[in-house]
Amino acid sequence: MSFEHLDIILIGVAILGVGILVSLLRLFLGPTSPDRVVALDTINTLVVGMMIGLGAYYEEVVFIDIGIVYAILSFVTTLFIARFISTRKEKEVGP
Amino acid sequence: MDLSAFLYDAVHFIVLLGIIGSAFLVVKFKDLVSATIALAACSLLVSLEFFILQAPDVAIAEAAVGAGLTTAILIFAIKGTRRREEY
């Protein structure tokens, strides 16, 4: 079995995808909301990594720009949720 | 089967599995902030799916609306009401 360099990029992207599934498990299990926010932020970072890897696989420069835009927007989203959680003190149990 | 095609299908399958799982979580959660977080994850993965299907303009619109606007507006709405959904 011989590996092309594009195959190696795809292997890396597939490993990042497995990481997304594991983070979804944490988003499912996580007992409190901060756990879920951290899981969402991990998924954000992994998806940006997948977008960059797939942009290298397709050999298109435009696809890298989408990764940059997504990185900025996901940061804003996480900031909003984190501010809401930090300002509102409330007891919570389970999903 | 070619190795490259197999890996491509594997990535595609993983992303679709993540979309289904996070959409199930949106319905399941009774804590509204958790449901909003799951919705953000779902729209994130849908954007990645558009990306894999080589539609970069649709992916960038989905990223702007799904990740940026929807989550912020829903958080503002939850701030005005109760946090937990009643059974």
Checking ipTM against 0.90, whether it exceeds it is: no
Is it the case that residue B72 has pLDDT exceeding 60?
Answer: yes
pLDDT band per the 50, 70, 90 thresholds, residue B46: very high
Question: How far A46 CA sits from the closest chain B CA (Å)?
Answer: 11
Q: Whole domain around residue A63: which residue ranges? A: 5-90
Inspect the interface and report whether the beta carbons of A95 and B59 lie closer than 8 Å. Answer: no
The number of C-beta contacts closer than 8 angstroms across A and B is 129
Q: Which residues of B lie inside 8 Å of A (Cβ-Cβ)? A: 3-4, 7-8, 10-11, 14-15, 17-18, 21-22, 25, 28-31, 33-34, 36-38, 40-41, 44-45, 47-48, 51-52, 54, 56, 59-60, 63-64, 67-68, 71-72, 75, 78-79, 83-84
Per-residue pLDDT tens digits of chain A, which is 95 residues long: 556 777 888 889 889 999 999 999 998 887 888 899 999 999 999 999 999 998 888 888 888 888 888 888 888 888 888 888 888 665 555 55
Quick check: is A12 in a domain? yes
State residue A88 phi and psi, 5-degree precision. -100, 115
Quick check: is A95 in a domain? no
Domain boundaries, chain B: 3-81
Q: Which residue in chain A has the smallest CA separation from B17?
A: A21
Those residues whose C-beta lies under 8 Å from the C-beta of residue A40, and which sit 6 or more positions away, are A27, A77, A78, A81, B37, B40, B41
Quick check: is A86 in a domain? yes
Smallest Cβ–Cβ distance between A27 and the set B37, B64, B68 belongs to B37
B70 versus A87: the higher-pLDDT residue is B70
pTM: predicted TM-score of the whole model, two decimal places: 0.86
Inspect the interface and report whether the beta carbons of A6 and B4 lie closer than 8 Å. Answer: yes
Q: What is the mean pLDDT of chain B?
A: 87
Q: What is the DSSP string of B4-46?
A: HHHHHHHHHHHHHHHHHHHHHHHHH--BHHHHHHHHHHHHHHH
Domain count of chain A?
1
